[in-house]
Chains A and B, each alone.
Chain A
Amino acid sequence: MPAAGHRHPRRVKSAEREQVTTSQLVFDPFSEEYFDDPWEIYRRMREEAPVYYNSEQDFYALSRHTDVAAAFKDYETFSSAYGLDLAMVKAGEKAPFKMIILMDPPEHRQMRSLVNKVFTPRAIANLKSMVVETIDQCFRAADPARFDVVQEFTAFFPVEVITRMLGVPEDRRQQVRQWVDTSLHREPGQVEMSPEGMQAIAEAMGLYFELIQKRRAQPEDDMFTRLVQAEIEREDGQKEKLDDVEIAGFATLLGGAGAETVTKLIGTAAVTFARFPDQWQKLLDDRSLIPAAVEELLRYEGPVQYNVRRSMKEVTLHGVTIPAGKPVFLLGGSANRDPEAFDDADTFDIDRDRTQAQNLGFGYGVHSCLGAALARMESTIALERLLDFMPRYEVLWDECRRVAMQNVAGWSHVPVRVLK
């Protein structure tokens, strides 16, 4: 990819900024400062420490667009096989769970190809009426005087959609979301998963094992059945069916990814459009702009702010050497705000020139979001319904709450009042 930089003014040299940024630069992904306002931390990292090192936790972080995009593509140097969060990668052992998010090629390619046809834009388009129906349920009893966009809407429908695709019975679907929430939640300073988180994962696995047994006995038209029937070529060239742990791993991953991401994206949308009401007005005037708005939301404040990889060999970048075997944060959320890549990067502009640089909101390369087409469709329909329901609205700011989670960022409570 050509460096996006040379069309833009050069980056302000860190020396010129030194007088205004004398405080110590700390990126702690589990701190309240980071949850509340990552943007200033990102800006300083891009300018002052493009290869940031956190000596307390012994990890590195890349924040510039060109570096993050290049690292996403270079899976040989930046491996996914040792974990997706700091605690796992620090442990330094291959991930104990079988999930595509925790695999490198060639194994990754084989496993992902078992499910990717379910998620193509065309296959997803066939699910539109189901998604519309699921979303419409949320507005039947909606109160315009007070409506929590997350609690009453975006927390509910994405998990319904993905668990329905998987084949989870209706009465168990919302339970999946609670398990995922519990496993990702972090108190400030907490790196490891809590005992409650472990318990939630165990309960989810229990449900999935039960469903796998049912589908083996009686196939249905769902993803569990597809995975039960799928065959994969093992290292020795033998074709084999997936085992229960592999299938449950898929379900855990897809359920988690499907439940947490659009939930955050559309919650953030309600907040962002309240801060940029001219952009909401543009959508009210011309709904054909909704897909572009979804892309801009992903760039401006996507639900996945970073991915953690493990350096497989020594890498030197911007004069800093990352030794082999270290956790490396790839800060897509920072890259998407890099002024070297995007003009007026901190401005939310749904009309912006989207060819300027790769939007890293869905990641990039072999691990780029499998569910991108589903996320786009869900988000488009969700924005349509919000435009119908609350053409003019105000956010009850005092009652908004951010989530404190690893890997995903956004709001847990965004109450709004619809204005006449």
Chain B
Amino acid sequence: MSQKVEVDFGLCESNGVCMGIIPEVFDLDDEDYLHVLQDDVTPDNEQQIKEAVRQCPRQAIAIRDE
């Protein structure tokens, strides 16, 4: 079973907190839209992604089981 990052773009307001925590996964473009560069949750990025989930002020990020 793998895990994926999921963003609710209706909630996201481009605060960029996630990008500050792990820019390899989350990126804001010039138009202020968030892109998930890499949606696999791996042992290497898991802790930082969980931190981004927790710190997102909008609660817009989730980790989903595939």
Give bound CA distance, A333 to B4, whole Å.
Answer: 34
B16 and A121 contacting across the interface, CB-CB below 8 Å: yes
The answer to the question of B51 belonging to the interface, with a C-beta cut-off of 8 Å to chain A, is: yes
Q: Which of B10, B15, B51, B54 contacts A109 (CB under 8 A)?
A: B10
Given A73-B59, A123-B32, A365-B59: A358 and B54 interface contact (C-beta under 8 Å): yes
A121 and B14 contacting across the interface, CB-CB below 8 Å: yes
Interface size class of B (residues with CB under 8 A): 10 to 19
Given A73-B59, A120-B32, A122-B32: A366 and B54 interface contact (C-beta under 8 Å): no
Measured CB to CB, the closest approach of chain A to B47, in angstroms, equals 10
Given A73-B59, A366-B58: A117 and B32 interface contact (C-beta under 8 Å): yes
The answer to the question of B28 belonging to the interface, with a C-beta cut-off of 8 Å to chain A, is: yes
Q: Which residue of B lies closest to A121 (CB)?
A: B16
Chain A positions within 8 Å of B46 at CB level:
none
Given A109-B11, A122-B14: A364 and B32 interface contact (C-beta under 8 Å): no
A116 and B13 contacting across the interface, CB-CB below 8 Å: yes
Chain A positions within 8 Å of B3 at CB level:
none
Given A120-B14, A373-B15: A362 and B57 interface contact (C-beta under 8 Å): yes
The total of chain A residues at the interface (CB under 8 A) is 24
Which of A121, A363, A364, A365 lies at the interface centre, i.e. has the most chain B CB atoms within 10 A of its CB?
A121
Chain B positions within 8 Å of A369 at CB level:
57
Interface string of A116-143 (1 = CB under 8 A from B): 1101111100000000000000000000
The chain B residues found within 8 Å of chain A, CB to CB, are 10-11, 13-16, 28, 32, 51, 54-55, 57-59
Nearest 6 CB-CB pairs, A to B? A368-B57, A120-B14, A116-B13, A120-B32, A365-B59, A122-B32
The chain A residues found within 8 Å of chain B, CB to CB, are 1-2, 73, 109, 113, 116-117, 119-123, 355, 358, 362-366, 368-370, 372-373
